[in-house]
């Protein structure tokens, strides 16, 4: 039966691409995935910025098991005080500016973005959204409407009206943000376009403009959160406070979990006129919250995981030099390697997998490959992965 997993996957699971690698992932531990034969694959993408503390961390597993033994799903919103939710909200707020004082749990990043858009409409009484070219915030109809490219919108129109995409890092956006704007959806490191860091002065100017016109600044920390850039959340290094912050991915420690965080006066709109402004059967599932608490525990106990990021970043920057590498962009342990047109990025990714390194492409960065290893990656593993990338590019250059 196990031998047929690949064909069962290809014939019974709906596919979103025409030629998946269909690598059979049998188990994952530490910084590696393993196939059925026990072949290790170094994880250079962390399941797209999820496995920040590696796979199967014992602290996270025991937190999950303890919670599973106590209880799994109960009604998660509106009525009951659920211990892992209460503790996780408290732990999350502990890391943030004191103005952020309420957390609402959902299932995913997309749902956090959707709910933030709803809240912004109700709070401001406006409906216009500004987001940025080549950004990705989710695949549902609201989040797709603010997606920063029309590339993946085909066939899904009509989407939300009055949604506009401005140029990232361009001050011209300040004029687009007006008293008609409900919300500006923004990232500190724009992920979909190839990990492009926001210029500090620019993002602070956007913050100030939102305040000036009464628009809400919705910060997407879905990929950048939980230590990935060397701080708990990327905006803490930029020195501004958003109105709403969205979390998911590594926040759930490998289980599905999202959240949005805001000051009480903003969060209040989901509580009245009408009540139940955003409800969800599973959002804030106690087991997911327990896993998240495990991630906080690991990152708090082993401070070297975040502290070593600048050094690891230097290694990435100094190693990835090759005549067929155009440039690299990124911050922390989220890097994009841009290839020259002579090399096909998809071939690099396929060959890397054969050589035991898992990478991936970007939605909007053409001919580029993703480097987002777990924060637990050792120097030897990092060097191995980077050397393998250089070898593969060398081979394909011949």
Half-sphere exposure of 235 (CA within 13 A, CB side): 24
CB 187 within 8 A of CB 224: yes
288 counts as binding ligand PLP under rule CB under 6 A: no
C-alpha distance from residue 329 to each of 219, 241, 316, 325 (Å): 20, 25, 10, 11
Nearer to ligand PLP, 178 or 231 (CB): 231
Stretches 171-179, 215-223, 344-352, 375-383: which one binds ligand PLP (CB under 6 A)?
215-223
Sheet holding 216-220, edge to edge: 102-106, 258-262, 244-247, 216-220, 181-186, 128-132, 163-166
Closest CA to 39 of 20, 21, 24, 54: 24
305 counts as binding ligand PLP under rule CB under 6 A: no
Residue that has been written with the tokens 């797709």 in this structure: 144
Site track for ligand PLP across 119-158, x = CB under 6 A: -----------------xxx--------------------
Nearer to ligand PLP, 137 or 312 (CB): 137
Site for ligand PLP in 171-210 (CB under 6 A): 187, 191
Kindly state the smallest distance separating residue 53's Cβ from ligand PLP, in Å. Answer: 18
Kindly state the smallest distance separating residue 311's Cβ from ligand PLP, in Å. Answer: 25
Site for ligand PLP in 43-72 (CB under 6 A): 48
Give the integer Cα–Cα distance in Å for 255 and 287.
Answer: 8
Kindly state the smallest distance separating residue 330's Cβ from ligand PLP, in Å. Answer: 13
Nearer to ligand PLP, 50 or 343 (CB): 50
232 counts as binding ligand PLP under rule CB under 6 A: no
Kindly state the smallest distance separating residue 49's Cβ from ligand PLP, in Å. Answer: 7
Site track for ligand PLP across 253-272, x = CB under 6 A: -----x--------------
Task: Report angle CA 51, 54, 58 to the nearest 5 degrees.
Answer: 115
248 counts as binding ligand PLP under rule CB under 6 A: yes
Nearer to ligand PLP, 110 or 376 (CB): 110
Task: Report angle CA 73, 74, 75 to the nearest 5 degrees.
Answer: 125
Give the integer Cα–Cα distance in Å for 144 and 185.
Answer: 12
222 counts as binding ligand PLP under rule CB under 6 A: yes
213 counts as binding ligand PLP under rule CB under 6 A: no
Cα distance from N-terminal residue to C-terminal residue, the chain: 41
Q: What are phi and psi of 174, to 5 degrees?
A: -60, -35
Give the integer Cα–Cα distance in Å for 71 and 315.
Answer: 44
Give the residue at shortest CB distance from ligand PLP. 109
Alpha helices in the chain (DSSP H): 5-12, 46-49, 58-70, 83-94, 109-124, 141-145, 173-176, 200-213, 235-238, 264-267, 286-301, 304-307, 309-319, 345-354, 379-397
Using alpha carbons only, how large is the chain's radius of gyration in Å?
Answer: 21
Give the integer Cα–Cα distance in Å for 383 and 70.
Answer: 42
Structure tokens, 118:
């709803």
Nearer to ligand PLP, 171 or 255 (CB): 255
220 counts as binding ligand PLP under rule CB under 6 A: yes
Question: CB 261: neighbour CB atoms within 10 A?
Answer: 26
Please count the residues of this chain forming the interface with ligand PLP, following the rule CB under 6 A.
16
225 counts as binding ligand PLP under rule CB under 6 A: no
Kindly state the smallest distance separating residue 142's Cβ from ligand PLP, in Å. Answer: 12
Give the integer Cα–Cα distance in Å for 90 and 222.
Answer: 19
Kindly state the smallest distance separating residue 380's Cβ from ligand PLP, in Å. Answer: 29
Site for ligand PLP in 91-120 (CB under 6 A): 108-110, 113
223 counts as binding ligand PLP under rule CB under 6 A: yes
Nearer to ligand PLP, 43 or 187 (CB): 187
Kindly state the smallest distance separating residue 190's Cβ from ligand PLP, in Å. Answer: 8
Note the residues at the interface with ligand PLP (CB under 6 A).
Answer: 48, 108-110, 113, 136-138, 187, 191, 220, 222-223, 248-249, 258
């Amino acid at each position: 039966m196990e031998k047929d997993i690949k064909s069962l996957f290809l014939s019974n699971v709906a596919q979103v691409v025409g030629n998946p690698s269909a690598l059979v992932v049998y188990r994952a531990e530490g910084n590696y995935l393993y196939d059925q034969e026990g072949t290790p694959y170094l994880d250079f993408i962390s399941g797209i910025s999820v496995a920040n503390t590696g796979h199967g961390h014992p602290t996270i597993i025991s937190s999950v098991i303890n919670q599973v033994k106590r209880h799994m799903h109960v009604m998660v919103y509106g009525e009951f005080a659920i211990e892992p939710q209460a503790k996780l909200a408290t732990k999350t707020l502990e890391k943030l500016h004191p103005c952020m004082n309420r957390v609402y749990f959902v299932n995913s990043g997309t749902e956090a973005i959707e709910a933030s858009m709803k809240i912004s409409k109700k709070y401001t009484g406006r409906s216009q959204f500004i987001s940025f070219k080549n950004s990705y915030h989710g695949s549902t109809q609201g989040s797709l409407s603010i997606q920063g490219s029309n590339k993946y919108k085909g066939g899904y129109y009509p989407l939300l009206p009055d949604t506009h995409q401005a140029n990232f890092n361009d001050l011209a956006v300040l004029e687009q943000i007006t008293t008609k704007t409900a919300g500006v959806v923004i990232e500190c490191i724009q992920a979909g376009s190839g990990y492009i860091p926001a210029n500090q002065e620019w993002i602070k100017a956007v913050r100030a403009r939102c305040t000036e016109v009464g628009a809400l600044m919705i910060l997407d920390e879905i990929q950048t959160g939980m230590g990935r850039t060397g701080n708990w959340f990327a905006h803490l290094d930029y020195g501004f406070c958003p109105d709403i912050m969205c979390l998911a991915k590594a926040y759930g420690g490998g289980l599905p979990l999202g959240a949005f965080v805001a000051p009480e006066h903003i969060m209040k709109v989901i509580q009245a006129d009408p009540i139940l402004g955003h409800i969800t059967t599973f959002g804030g599932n106690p087991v997911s919250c327990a896993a998240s608490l495990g991630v906080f525990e690991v990152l708090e106990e082993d401070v070297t995981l975040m502290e070593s990021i600048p050094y690891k970043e230097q290694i990435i920057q100094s190693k990835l030099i090759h005549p067929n590498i155009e440039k690299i962009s990124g911050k922390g342990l989220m890097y994009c390697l841009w290839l020259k047109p002579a090399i096909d990025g998809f071939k690099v990714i396929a060959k890397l997998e054969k050589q035991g390194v898992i990478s991936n492409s970007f939605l909007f960065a053409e001919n580029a490959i993703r480097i987002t290893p777990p924060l637990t990656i050792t120097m030897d593993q990092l060097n191995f992965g980077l050397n393998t990338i250089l070898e593969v590019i060398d081979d394909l250059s011949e």
